[in-house]
Amino acid sequence: MSSGSNGHAPGAGALLGILRSGRPRTRGELAELTGLSRSTVSQRLDGLIEHRWVVAGEDSVSSGGRPATVFAFNGGARLVLAADLGATRARLAVIDLGMSVLAERTAELSIDQGPEQTLGWVAGAFQDLLSAAGRDLSQVCGVGIGLPGPVEHASGRPANPPIMPGWDGFAVPDWLGARLGAPVLVDNDVNVMALGEHWAARPEVDHLIFIKMGTGIGCGIISGRRLHRGAQGAAGDVGHVRVPASEAPCRCGNVGCLEAVAGGGSMAAALRASGIEAEGSRDVVALMRAGDLRATRLVRQAGREVGTVMASIVNFFNPSVIVIGGDVAEAGEQVLAGVRETIYSRSLPLATQHLGIRVSQLGDRAGVMGAAVMVVEHVLAPDTIDRIITK
């Protein structure tokens, strides 16, 4: 590593990146890795230590003579507040820069009550979690929010979200940032789930698709180990792809959408029409686990419908892994079997030769972990660190 991505000598942010990704290093090792002189490395390290991004200590494995000084990333230097807001449920957490969860909670929370009431509750819940962790807002460097609808990532504003009345164009970062005193990053929930799953469970995978099957259906795309959002942040909105031969009305105003055919809400409605009490996707899965044959058939068919749409995505994108998450993923092999059945039968053999299709390892924590990853990667980006240190 002889120069930074912009052609200049590596800055303090590049040193921090090295320390984040591995073991503690000596000045000499950092000089060798970056091509910088030891005096320049020392200068960069001084800035990182002053801002508490890095801590110095003695090499415990040094043999003979004076122990060498080693430098390590200080994961506890700052805190991130992360929230994964679904249609009817929220998960919040306080997480440090090393991705250790210090406090978390889940709660029933209807997104359709509007932005101010929802985000007001979120702000209060974050304060409670910080207190429970023995921390305060002064230690927070950023807030990450996942929302169950399309989000223009650059502005953090929801864009015509079908299940979020009153949220269209609402300035979530400004409103929440003013109350928490930290920058706020917002994305749709399935994007942050894809980030969380990739970071925690499959960081070695270059091309991954995360499908959320819950009240709605969405898709997060990891391409070249980076989240692909598209031009406006709308990439992966497969829930509103038309399913052949279906005229089921969708909340978006169209008919025949995948979500209207295979979403948890549509399955629950089908069960209610049969005289079986079911309010949402979690009830459908609970009934299936209890042995209800109609719920089992619905879940299996939902998997097939999702697989039909995803077969086209597999042929187009050629991922190495497809991960199924969301409430319906709790159905396990029943939903996986349906998805696999149609993907393997409708995709090109070369595209499925080494394709893995499996359930999320993080489960319902994927979103909150991904929201934290989104903030940490933004806060600790080399250019950001360099700007902070050179102020």
Those residues with Cβ within 8 angstroms of residue 152's Cβ, 6 or more apart along the chain or in another chain: 158, 159, 232, 233
Phi, psi (degrees; rounded to nearest 5) at 191: -65, -45
pLDDT digits (tens, 9 = 90+) for 337-372: 999 999 999 999 999 999 999 999 999 999 999 999
Taken as a whole, the chain contains a residue count of 391
Distance from C-alpha of 145 to C-alpha of 23, rounded to nearest angstrom: 30
Residue 279 to residue 313: CA distance in whole angstroms: 31
Residues spanned by the domain of 342: 202-360
Tokens in use for 211?
A: 């499908």
The answer to whether residues 284 and 268 touch, using CB atoms and an 8 Å cutoff, is: yes
Tens digits of per-residue pLDDT, 139-169? 999 999 999 989 998 899 999 888 899 999 9
The tokens for 227 are 């989240």
In a domain, 6, yes or no: no
At residue 63, the pLDDT reads: 53
Query: Residue 1 above 60 pLDDT?
Result: no
Confirm whether 349 is domain-assigned: yes
Query: DSSP class of residue 55?
Result: E
What's the CA gap between 324 and 264, in Å, rounded?
14
Last residue in a domain, options 48, 74, 100:
74
Residues 314 and 208 in one domain: yes
What's the pLDDT tens digit per position in 243-258? 888 889 988 889 999 9
Q: Are residues 157 and 30 in the same domain?
A: no
Residue 189 predicted with pLDDT over 90: yes
* Domain end (from 74, 104, 122): 74
Residue 66 has pLDDT above 80, yes or no: no
Q: Is residue 5 part of a domain?
A: no
Helices (H), the chain: 12-20, 27-34, 38-50, 115-132, 172-180, 189-200, 258-262, 264-273, 281-289, 293-317, 333-346, 349-352, 366-379, 382-389
**What integer pLDDT is reported at residue 74 of this predicted model?**
94
Residue 6 has pLDDT above 70, yes or no: no
> Is 388 within the bounds of a domain?
no
Q: Both 254 and 343 in a single domain?
A: yes
**Are the C-beta atoms of residues 312 and 349 closer than 8 Å to each other?**
no
Same domain, 232 and 338: yes
pLDDT at 284 over 80: yes
Q: What rounded mean pLDDT belongs to the chain?
A: 92
Residue 228: give its domain's CATH number.
Answer: 3.30.420.40
Order across the sheet with 25-26: list the strands: 25-26, 69-73, 54-58
Is 390 part of a structural domain of the chain?
no
Q: Is the domain of 128 the same as that of 218?
A: no
Helix (H, G, I), strand (E, B) or coil at 323: strand
More confident residue, 8 or 257: 257
Q: Per the domain annotation, does 128 fall within a domain?
A: yes
Whether 150 is in a domain gets the answer: yes
The pLDDT confidence band at residue 234, using thresholds 50, 70 and 90, is confident
In terms of domains, do 283 and 319 share one? yes
Among 34, 59, 74, which residue terminates a domain?
A: 74
Give yes or no: residues 162 and 256 share one domain.
no
pLDDT of residue 10: 86
Grade residue 88 by pLDDT with cuts at 50, 70 and 90: confident
pLDDT grade for 2, boundaries at 50, 70 and 90 = very low
pLDDT of residue 64: 55
- Asked if the structure places residue 385 within a domain, the reply is no
Q: Both 84 and 121 in a single domain?
A: yes
0.85 exceeded by pTM: yes
pLDDT of residue 163: 84
Six-digit token string for 32: 């060798």
Give yes or no: residues 70 and 83 share one domain: no
Number of domains the chain contains:
3
Q: Are 323 and 208 in contact (CB under 8 A)?
A: yes
Does 262 share its domain with 356? yes
- Output the pLDDT for position 221: 96
What are phi and psi for residue 174, nearest 5 degrees?
Answer: -70, -45
**133 and 248 co-located in one domain:** no
Same domain, 179 and 165: yes
DSSP element (H, E) containing 50: helix 38-50
- Structure-block tokens of residue 310: 């995803």
